[in-house]
Structure 1
């Protein structure tokens, strides 16, 4: 009996020992596996951290490389534009020199003195815009301009020269004069070219020059024309209109449209008078006006005579329309006087 109990205790003891050994083995395996997994995870993290700066550095390098590429492209385009502008400038100068040479040969064929040494060339450029001016021995200037949009404009100017329109024997004659009024001999084709160029420049500013019946000269702007029998000149240097009168040359500083506008604005007239049969025929002939006024000389002063209608309020109630002729200075635009009938004066007195 005692032996059996002893064997049982030994068996239980061996079982406990075996269980402890198994538990120890399991724990050792778990700790070992966890350590290996931790070491592997740490290795992966360290490897990833080591590669990250390299990727950032490459990204930065690529960005710098892209910016440098854009700058090179812009510089190349700017260089091409400069080369194109220089080429255009060279062509312009060659063209202007050729024109100056032709003009010089023409002057020599007409017996004018002058050598190539007396030709002056001035050139300036800014970006794609350039201007070349050539002045010949006889004072003629040839300007060639290239605008930013690439358009080219050639201007021919004569120093102190005027284009004059004059009526002789019922015909309008165009000729060139110097600053002293002396006639300048110019070939017909060149004079016609100069005349057309000046008229085109005036039209760009809305001013038109025309001829009417009975040897009348007409200048107009904004559909308001002035007619005159005096010779009309255009200063090439300033594009000013000049009228030759018995009192001397008079500059037309105020055009007819401005004179009419001033009268309407100040209430001197309420509207322009209806055109006469003669004025209507003239307007239809030149086809460019709604109203015609008269340019005259009065007391040695150039004036416009403008026929208008003024609407009065008789006794501040009854509207009454009466004709009024206003005299306006073409030099200052000021009203000089009004001309009206005796009846109109009475209506004026009775109208507040």
Structure 2
């Protein structure tokens, strides 16, 4: 349609004569149809109160084990309860890669959530003799939830280290990473030795990152596009974590403590993406744990990311237009 308009305008400007009435009428009709379609999408977005400039919780998990040894561990029962609560509240999981690149494709009226797992623990994924996830591992529980709750996607991002899910041989490591990739899961970088990058030289930061990058690329034919900082600590210069010889991350994740701005928002900082510890509301985590923040987002729905159901558009109430990143202006659908 746009090409048709340009042809008509060009014909007039170059003095090539007046376009045939039928062509002019068709261009006008096409333009009217496009306008009507956009207006209809805006009406639909308003009906579900779409707000794709809203906040998205990025939940941080570590081991899923029966006897937690630290506050970062979660029992299988607690993890099942977490997923049940997310499904009940209308959340649909997306990967960290989908999040940072703005490829968020979830149903209208639903809310995005990013599930991340650090340290590549065997409790997150271990395969049995038939190549299936063992019961009570994070992946097995997530797939159970997807089968139980309609529309709940069984996806997450696993930030790997040298440990590689406790596998000692390259063959076992490759099998596990390939299983994740082939089943729609995302693989991210968590540095080789889980070291505090704040005190490391530029060369050591690059080595820690590139070692994992090479392993994942070799075993899974996949290049991680995001990095989760060990302990949430940036190197002396943040740019070292984002880009170096052989790697260029589109997102760098911290260790806490708030929901993240949407990637379409001007406030989104790709080098400092906050995460939320998956914990119950108690002790030091009373205000900053996942339970508390999910409660807050439920009580403040106008602050939460809500999809319009169309991955090609970024829908939001008109008064939020000043908060849209200019790079997404072509996808804007204000209502």
TM norm. shorter chain > 0.5: no
From the CA coordinates, give the structure whose radius of gyration is larger: 1
Query: Which structure dedicates a bigger proportion of its chain to strand?
Result: 1
